[in-house]
Structure 1
Amino acid sequence: MSEQLKQIYPYINGQAWKSEGQQHKDLVNPYTGKPLARVFLATKQDIETALGSAESAQRVWGKMLAREREAILCRAADIVERRRDDIVRVLVEEGGNVFGKAMFECDYIVSTFRIAAGQTRDIRGETMPSDLPGRISMSIRRPLGVVAGIGPFNAPLLLNGKKLAPALAAGNSFILKPSPHTPMAALMFAEILEEAGLPSGVLTVLLTTDEALGDTLFSDPRVKLVTFTGSARVGRILADLAGRYQKRIVLELGGKSPVVVLDDATLDYAVRSAAFGIYFNQGQVCMANSRIIVEQGIYDAFCEAFAKQVARIPTGDPALPQTAVGPLISSEQADFVQAHIADAVSKGATLLAGGGREGNVVQPTALCDVTPDMQLYYEETFGPVAAIYKARDYEHALEMANDTSYGLSSAILTNDLQKAMDFAERIEAGSVHINDNSFDDDPNAPFGGFKDSGYGKENGRYSIADMTELKWVTIQQGERQLAF
């Protein structure tokens, strides 16, 4: 059976790259457990070839006219729209994505490519006053060179695309190291951009399970920036490497995001919004509102309504359009999530809903009476588990919301504009959503967190700023007066 599997290879210099010594692993569907493809992994020599190819290709790509890069990115967006069914199938099969989430990623990446296309014409410097007579003082932006991106499994189209598209728009070549769980989604980018006319070598997709690749990307002087989405633990390791090699880095890490529900919130909407914010994509979302903090006046009513809402969420086969919660990415992750639930219940948490498991599908779960001695109080569960906390009043809710080492996203549901804006000012998070849940991302808005959730901003012109070099240039009109 395994010999008949589709074979996929690293994408280097515009082609599926086959070489001696490539090891392989079989990719499996996280819902069915059946093999999907045999993945051949890049060797050290393959990686060296990729770096040389990316550097050579960037010298040409970086000099192309903005309108030429714009046209390629626009065509890529059109191809995504045309191949939507193919892309959705890949996201469902290899990532366990439910249909609605896969469609969301397609829509997002279309916008990402189109925004990046527009950015090609908006990479600009500025003029500034000078303290010297006769001097024109200005700044210009130029491509960095080779940019590397290390992506996660949970949103492989969206989170890899928001790194790739602006890098290309700025005139850089891009090396993508995708998650070993979702290599086919990454290779879709290669197919799409090749069809769109991207020159060979500008995009590389390195399929590898070798964690030492991070050392290579940081230590090699040809790579000018590394952008990473993943866990805070790995982010700290990469930050150390960035400091050692004086390498630019953008880190988009984990979260333990709060949604605060005040007494004056509309109960039904608050329940539905908070549920969507945690159970979308099985809770495998860095900005999921895993902490639901409810003011005491409506706490009991909220818990009762939330438990009923959770029980109605359809789970199971992600290929079925009606499924809202599908499988976690692996049995290991399902084990980890269940261990968090079991630890909380054993220490006194009340199970309001869920808690069961079938294969890699963990039921949407809601807990209350969660205390700081429980693992899930501070740790990121990265699964369909919500903890509901009671707050005495608004100030107590804000205090609880900030009681975390993370600071990625946040939300508040209230009809009190004064408290909503105060929350926006005082919450320690990179995103604040008023009368919404914490799950939100817009391809044209600055996205990134505080504290252990990383640093740097992604999307649109905010990515362009990190992916270009800013130079100061002066022109002296006439002769400058000199002291000697």
Structure 2
Amino acid sequence: MGVADQINWVDAACWNGTAFDGGWNTRLATNQDVLEPATGQALWRVGVASAADMTAAIERAHAAQVAWAATPPRERAAVMLKAAALFEQHFDELALMIARETGGIIPKGHHEVRESVVLCQLAAAMPMQSQGQVLPSTPGRLSIARRVPHGVVGVISPFNFPLILSLRSVAPALALGNAVVLKPDVRTPASGGFILARVFQEAGLPAGVLQVLPGNAEAGEALVTDPRVPMIAFTGSPGVGRRIGELAGRHLKKVSLELGGANNLIILEDADLDAAASAAAFGAWFHQGQVCMASNRVLVHASVVEGLKARLVGKATHLPVGDGASGQVALGPMIDAKQLARFDALVQETVQQGATLEAGGTFEGLCYKPTVLSGVKPGMRSFDDEPFGPLVNLVTFDTDEEAVSLANNSQGGLSSAVISRDVGRAMAIGEQLNAGMVHINDQTVNDDCTNPFGGPGLGGNGSSVGGPADIDEYTRWKWITVKASVPQFPF
């Protein structure tokens, strides 16, 4: 039985070659099959947008946005609460769709749907918060600073956690009165786009306010350069992020970039090695390491590296790899052959540069074995480049100062962590790390939805989304003054 046979509420036939325009009426330029990474079989067929398709979607969103922004805040909040309830109601079906389309294990699908409930609930609170401030001014003059929507927000989301990484921008942007044009990755168009479309359609979002259309670079560039889209929210690779930042800057747009870079897990010599190995394994191998926060560098004190290495090799040897949706494995397949080939080349090149392959380094189909490299140093490819695959890079240090220096030997990153029984010492190290997020006695893959999420350099452009950052991201300031009558001027 295929995944399509187990879908009852989300009808894949709706998006066969179409965009979501409030309904399923707009045919797109071309069509392609979406392949299940675990089996190579077609899950469904979707349309792929051209630049002209994207321009038309922007026009529809632009036309719908004014009325949506004027919708009373309680009504916008009600749509978000209804969306949260729909995610809960169809929890298992949506989790299965995500697992199949992304190659993830079922608990990863559960995580995406569960966090989507929270994201919608948080978004529902935004329209009911204060939307500005009364500023000090001269007597007889009312001075107000208001937060107002940008207008149309363009969202470009990736393949790895497509539902969360789309919704974390879509939900607050909509709640605050923007229209949204969403371009999900063509490899995960249902998880990253059409699930959201179905949920918000059922939740009562007015037609046109959300446009969903998968597309490649041509459609993405049309979205980023259109003057009717004053803000772009992008999650993806540093290379594409640089291109989007360049285009957005040229067109004077606000841009929120969440990229990747180096994430460091530092393990001090006093750590509980069993607990540290478990944390490192999860941080590096969860969802096959295809996580922007993955613990791709494990910096370990030289006096305990052998004990940690033995524990990680044991885990790598015994963790089952296969079809994530089967419920029988810990790691699923990588998203596609191109991603696997890039990752395998990174592993093999790092070994040629002098690292030692301790475990893994092989694959069957798209399923890559959890891999451990020791003796990794700056200048080796897996140290310098983000692996985005199931890899533990073991890097040794002798002093806290050396650990900090190694961790900061990068162009920036999202997340870092320090494991030690001495919390004060760990916090002192954490304060020195060039990362947007730091976790003490944990691994690097963490997000509560209520926290600002972002990082410097390759982590993004220093911006953050989530929690207290969202109102700043998805609205702009507007200053208004009011006087009872026009004063006399000297001219």
Question: In which range does the TM-score fall when normalised by the shorter chain?
Answer: over 0.9
Aligned residue number for residue 149 of structure 2: 143
Match of 1:457 in 2: 464
- CA distance, structure 2, for counterparts of residue 475 and residue 419 of structure 1: 54
Q: What are the within-5 Å matches in structure 2 for residues 146-225 of structure 1?
A: 146-185=152-191, 186-209=193-216, 211-225=217-231
Residue in 2 that maps onto 1:97: 104
For residue 249 of structure 2, the aligned residue among 223, 243, 248 is: 243
**In structure 1, the residue corresponding to 2:265 is in which secondary structure?**
strand
Q: Which runs of 4+ in 1 moved over 4 A?
A: 4-7, 477-484
> What secondary structure does 1:80 align onto?
helix
Q: For 2:276 and 2:488, how far apart are their aligned partners in 1?
A: 68
Q: Which residues in structure 2 correspond to 1:21-420 (within 5 Å)?
A: 22-130=29-137, 132-185=138-191, 186-209=193-216, 211-420=217-426
Q: Displacement, 1:483?
A: 5.4
Give the equivalent residue in structure 2 for 1:466. Answer: 473
Equivalent residue in structure 1 for 2:21, among 13, 17, 34: 13
For 1:139 and 1:161, the matched residues in 2 are separated by 28
Q: Is the 8 A contact 2:48 2:186 kept in 1?
A: no
In 2, are the aligned partners of 1:10 and 1:205 still within 8 Å (CA)? no
User: Could you tell me whether the CA contact under 8 Å between 1:296 and 1:393 is conserved in 2?
Assistant: no
> What does residue 9 of structure 2 align with?
none
CA displacement at 1:89 relative to structure 2: 1.7
- Decide whether the 8 Å contact of 1:10 with 1:40 is kept in 2: yes
Q: Structure 2 stretches of 5 or more lacking a match?
A: 6-11
Q: Deviation of residue 470 (structure 1)?
A: 0.7
| Partners of 1:128 and 1:298 in 2: CA distance | 58
What is the CA-CA distance between 1:47 and the residue it aligns to? Answer: 2.3
For residues 266 and 472 of structure 1, what CA distance do their matches in structure 2 show? Answer: 55
| TM superposition score normalised by structure 1 | 0.95
Distance apart, 1:93 and its partner CA: 1.5
Contact 1:42-1:206 at 8 Å conserved across structures: yes
The answer (yes or no) to whether the contact 1:12–1:50 under 8 Å persists in 2 is no
8 Å contact kept, 2:415–2:445? yes
SS in 2 for 1:410: strand
Unaligned runs of 5+ in 1: none
RMSD: 1.8
1:237, CA displacement in angstroms?
Answer: 0.6
**SS of residue in 2 equivalent to 1:325:** coil
**Cα contact 1:284–1:382 (8 A) shared by 2:** yes
Q: Distance in 2 between matches of 1:12 and 1:273?
A: 41
Question: 1: distance between equivalents of 2:344 and 2:130?
Answer: 48
Give the Cα separation in 1 of the matches to 2:255 and 2:419: 34
String of CA shifts for 1:18-60, please: whole Å, max 9, x gaps.
43x7211111111111111222222444323211210111111
Q: Give, in whole Å, the separation in 1 of the partners of 2:401 and 2:16.
A: 54
Displacement of 1:477 in angstroms is 6.0
Shift of 1:307: 1.4
Secondary structure (helix, strand or coil) at the match of 1:355 reads coil
Aligned partners of 1:278 and 1:386 also within 8 Å:
yes
Contact 2:142 2:483 in 1 (8 A): yes
**1-structure distance, mates of 2:26, 2:152:** 23
